Amino acid sequence: MKSAMVLVGSLAVASAFVPAAPKMSRTRGMTRMAVNDILGSDVETGGVWDPLNFSKDEGSLYRYRAVELKHGRLAMLAVLGLWVSEFYHPLYDGKISPGIKAIGELPGPAWLQILATIGVIELTVGKQDTENKAPGDLGFGYNFNPFKNDPEKFAELQLKELKNGRLAMLGAAGILLQESITGQTCFEQIAAQHLSPFGDGQGFF
């Protein structure tokens, strides 16, 4: 249920930082984009760094960017949810543990609700319009743009969302991984001063 709530919450702000529409073209029903026209494609690398040549498939770049934005937004909410749930998790009268332990404790009907909610959203209001909308623009919500007369500043704001989303994807994965290894939630590790997995007497190594 918590996952479904996180997903619904992300959709509430799904177009808060709607990306400026990159240069797109349609070929045989496929939306195509060039990597050099995508915001954030060369951040901190001094140019496009693509050793696996994903960017060569311009027909897939649109989907890659839409998926990256969606996952980044969900991950930002997920990290916040992991932190908040350590102190406040009212679902099921607070009997469900926070963090990764909740995965095994949720009853079967709860998982059915989560999957059904995700499916309905993905097929309806959360479906990306690949013909008329920029990646990440779901066509509803509040279009937050405090720099309507300054596209450069707005692009900077959008880049911050993108970079924070990328960091949150790594952060959420890291939180769950360290919890699965140590058996401690994020704040339990901090309280126990278990800040390094190497040689502190509490870690996995």
Residues making up the annotated binding site for chlorophyll b are 73, 160
d(CA 157, CA 146): 9
Q: What is the DSSP letter of 92?
A: G
Binding site residue list = 49, 55, 68, 71, 73, 106, 160-161, 164, 166, 178, 194
- Measure the CA–CA gap between 180 and 163, rounded to whole angstroms: 26
Query: Nearest to residue 121, comparing CAs of 18, 2, 5?
Result: 5
Structure tokens at 82: 């992991």
The CA-atom distances, in angstroms, between 109 and each of 9, 105, 176 are: 21, 12, 23
Question: How many other C-beta atoms lie within 10 A of the C-beta of residue 101?
Answer: 14
Task: List, as residue ranges, the binding site for chlorophyll a.
Answer: 49, 55, 68, 71, 106, 161, 164, 166, 178, 194
